[in-house]
Amino acid sequence: MSEFTPAKKTRKRFPFRLRLEPRLEEPPRWYPALVSFLAIVVALVFGGGLIALAGGDPIRSYIHIAKASFGSLGVLSDTIVKATPILLTSLACAVAFRMKLWNIGAEGQFIMGAFGASAVVLIPLLPPETPRWIFLPVMALAGILLGALWGWIPGFLKAYFGVNEIISTLMLNYIAVSWVNFFIFAVWTEGGFQMSPKFPKTAWLPRLADYAKAVPAFRGLTTHLGLLIGLVMAVLLWFVVNRSRWGYEIRLIGDNPRAARYAGINIRRNIVLVMMLSGALAGLGGMSEVSGVVHRLQTSPIAAGYGFTGIIVAWLAKLNPLVIILVSILFGALLLAGREIQPSGIPKMIQGIILVCLIASDFLLQYRIRIVRVDEEN
Amino acid sequence: MEALIIILQAGVGTGTVLLFATLGEVFAERSGVLNLGVEGMMLIGAMSAYSVALSTGDPWLGVLVAMLFAGAISQIHAFISITLLADQVVSGLALTFLGTGISLVLGEGLSKAGAVSLLPTLSVPLLSKIPLIGPIFFTNQSVMVYIGYLLTPLAWYYINYTRPGLHLRAVGEYPAAADALGINVYRLRYLYVLVGGMLAGLAGATISLAVSPGWFSELTTAGQGWIAVGLVIFAQWDPLRAAAGSYAFGALRRLILDIQGPTQLFGFPNPFYYNPYWGFFLQMLPYAFTIIVLVIGSREAVRKRIGAPAALGTPYVRGERGV
C-alpha cells in the first residue's frame, strides 16, 4: 500500500539531492545476486580494515582462509563437514523467517537435538549392539522431537500469550546450554571430564572414509551422511515453501498477515507449526553433528554458534533453501579457516560485518537512488 | 539476615548494569526504533572501558570511551533502519553480531591483562544509617549505582513531563503527526538510538569496571543485553518499572551465585552446596524468569490495553500512510 509514494529526504542548500524511488518493476534476475556479491566484497574490505587495526595482516588472513578451506580435497571435505550443521540451522531459520517469525533459537534447538540423539545412546534407550539402521533413525527422531519441543515452547507462547519470540528463543538457548552441561557434568560424565563417553560405532553416521576400502580416493575424508540429510532437507523445504499449500500460507502470513487472516488462514496454528518445523530442522542438525562429528555429548563443540551463523546464511541466501546450500559451504569455509586465525574473534566479526552490509544493500533492491537537480524539481 | 543484606547489596550493583541497558532501550523504543543490538553494544562498552582503563589508568576515561564507542556503533543501526528503511529486527541482530565480533577481536588478550583501577565505591553519609535500606542501597556501592539512582527518576520525568519528552513519545506513537507539527522525526530517532547506545555502553563499562571487573569475552555480558530487551517489555516502556525489574533481576543473579556457598540454609543442609551440579539449574533461572516476566508483561499489556509505542518497528517515510 505504501510503495507508491516517493520517499523524500531533504538536503539543504545543495544543487543536487538524492531521491529514493521505490522500484515498481522487478529488477532483473542477476541484480540481487550482484548486490549481494558487492555487499560481501564491501564487507571483506571493512573487515580487512578492522583486522589491520587489530594488528593483523588482512590479505594474508584472507588468503589463509581460502587455502585452509578449499586448498585440497581433504580440507574441502572438512569445509563440508563444517557446512553441514550450518546448512540445517539456516534452513531452520529460513522457514521461520519466511513467516516473519524471528526464531533466534536455532542454536538452542540444535543443542537440544544433539542432546536428544545422545540420550538414545547414553540412557541407553537402545543397547550399544543395536544395528546401525535402527540406531541412526531413532537418534534422528529423538533429535527432531527435542528440537521441535524447543521450538514449540516459544511458538506456543507467541501464539497464545503474545510473547516476543526473539527474546524467548534466545533465553531458551541459554537454558539449553545449562541443561546439557548438567547432564555431561553430573549424569553422563566420563571420568569427571566435561563430556559423555564416546558413542559405540553403530551410533556414528557413516563417513566417506568408512568406504576407503572400496573407493581409495575416500581415504581420510570426514564428510558424513549428515550432508546428504541436509541436502535432502533443503530440497524438501524448497518444495514445501514454494509448491505446497502450507508453504503458500507461510509466505502469505509473512508478506501480509492481515490478508492471511481475511483469507481464513489460522495464524496461531501456523506460528506453532512453523516454530516446531524450524526447531525440528535445527534439532536434526544437532543429531547430525553429534553423531557424525563429535561422537559424544560435549558442550563446546556443539554449542559453537552454528545456530547464529544459520541466521546470517539464511538471510544472505534470501531465505531460498537451494541457495542456502551454497552459502553454508562458504560459511563452513570461514569457520574452518577461522580456527587457526589470530585474533580468534575474526570469523565472528566478519560474519557480523557481512550481515550488516547485506541488510544495508537490501535497500538497493527495493529502491533506486536518483540524483536530481533541486531547481529542476518544481 | 546479614547474608541476605549482603546479597541484596551486591544485587543492586548487578541490577545497575541491567538498569542502564534497559533505560537506554526504553528511550530508543519510545522513539519507535527497536534496537536488538543491546548485547553487542554492551560488549563493545565493556571491552573498550576495560581496555582504556588498563592502558591509561583512568577508569573515567574508560567509561567515556565506552559510551562514545557504543554510541557510535548504535548509529550503524540507526542509519540502516531509519535512513535505509531496513527491517529493524534483522538490523539489530546484525548489530549484536557485529558488536560481539569487534569486541572479541579488539579485546583479544585483554582477559590476561593485569589489574586495572576500578571506579570508586562510596557510602552516603546519612542515608547509609537507615536500617535495612541503608546497608542495601547506600553503603559501599559503586558510583555507577548512584548514577543509576539519579538517572531513573530523571528519565521518567523527562519522558513524561517535559517538552522534548513529549516529542519523543510523539515520534514513537504517531510520527506522521509529529512530522506535521514540525518535529524532525529522523533526527530525533537518530538521537534516541544514540542515547540507547551510549547507555548500553555505560552498562558494559559498569560490568567491566565495577560490578564484575575484567574482560571475559562473550561471558562478560552473558546475555544480559537480551534480558534488558525483555525487561523493556515487562516494564511497559516505563523507566520506573524498568528500575524495579532491573534490581529484581540483579538480586536474582547474585542470589544464584551466592546460594551455592554456605553449607547450611535456614538451618537445613544446603542442597546446592552438597550437589554442586544443581547449580546448572540455578543458572537457568534468570533466563527462565525473563520468559515468565514476558508472559506476565504481555498479558498485562493486553488486559490494560497499553502496549508498545504504536510506531515501534516501522520505519517512517514522509508522505506514506503511517500507522
Residue B97 contacts residue B235 (beta carbons within 8 Å): no
pLDDT surpassing 90 at residue A132: no
In terms of CA atoms, which chain B residue is nearest residue A362? B86
What are the tens digits of pLDDT across the range A226-276? Answer: 999 999 999 999 999 999 999 999 999 999 889 999 999 999 999 999 999
What are the tens digits of pLDDT across the range B136-150? Answer: 888 888 889 999 999
Residue A317 contacts residue A114 (beta carbons within 8 Å): no
- CATH number of the structural domain spanning residue A245: 1.10.3470
* Residue A373 covered by a domain: no
Q: Say yes or no: A22 contacts chain B, CB-CB below 8 A.
A: no
pLDDT surpassing 60 at residue B123: yes
**Residue A102: φ, ψ to 5°:** -90, 80
* b (16+ CB within 10 A) / e for A64-83: bbeebbbeeeebbbbbbbbb
Closest CA relative to residue A327, chosen from A218, A234, A201, A256: A234
The predicted structure's pLDDT at residue A364 = 80
What are the tens digits of pLDDT across the range B149-202? Answer: 999 999 999 999 999 999 999 999 888 888 888 899 999 999 999 999 999 999
* Residue A245 covered by a domain: yes
Number of Cβ within a 10 Å radius of residue A361: 21
The domain tally of chain A equals: 1
Range of the domain at B45: 2-304
Rounded to 5, what percent of chain B is helix, strand, coil?
Answer: 70, 0, 25
The predicted structure's pLDDT at residue B306 = 65
* Residue B266 covered by a domain: yes
What are the tens digits of pLDDT across the range A29-44? Answer: 788 888 888 888 888 8
Amino acid at A130: T
Cross-strand bridge partners of residue A190? A193
What are the tens digits of pLDDT across the range B18-75? Answer: 999 999 999 999 999 999 999 999 999 999 999 999 888 888 999 999 999 999 999 9
Range of the domain at A275: 79-343
In this complex, the residue of A6, A162, A348 whose CB is nearest that of residue B298 is A162
pLDDT surpassing 50 at residue B9: yes
Q: Cell numbers 542515608 correspond to what residue?
A: B127
Residue B286 contacts residue B249 (beta carbons within 8 Å): yes
* Residue B315 covered by a domain: no
Q: Which residues in chain A touch residue B107, judged by CB atoms under 8 angstroms apart?
A: 345
* Residue A211 covered by a domain: yes
- What's the start-to-end Cα distance of chain B, in Å? 52
pLDDT surpassing 60 at residue B291: yes
* Residue A7 covered by a domain: no
* Residue A137 covered by a domain: yes
pLDDT surpassing 80 at residue B305: no
- CATH number of the structural domain spanning residue B272: 1.10.3470
Q: Which residues in chain A touch residue B100, judged by CB atoms under 8 angstroms apart?
A: 345, 348, 352
Amino acid at B275: N
What's CA B44's distance to the chain center, in Å? 13
* Residue B309 covered by a domain: no
* Residue A30 covered by a domain: no
What does the block give as the cell for B21? 541497558
Pick the more confident residue, B284 or B214. B284
Helix axes B2-30, B239-258, angle to 10 degrees: 140
Within chain B, how many helices (H) and strands (E) appear? Answer: 13, 4
* Residue A126 covered by a domain: yes
* Residue A107 covered by a domain: yes
Residue B156 contacts residue B165 (beta carbons within 8 Å): no
Q: Cell numbers 572501558 correspond to what residue?
A: B49
The domain tally of chain B equals: 1
* Residue B248 covered by a domain: yes
Cross-strand bridge partners of residue B254? none
- Contact pairs from chain A to chain B, CB under 8 Å: 167
The predicted structure's pLDDT at residue B308 = 75
The predicted structure's pLDDT at residue A1 = 41
Q: Which residues in chain A touch residue B80, judged by CB atoms under 8 angstroms apart?
A: 356, 359-360
Cβ <8 Å between B89 and A171: no
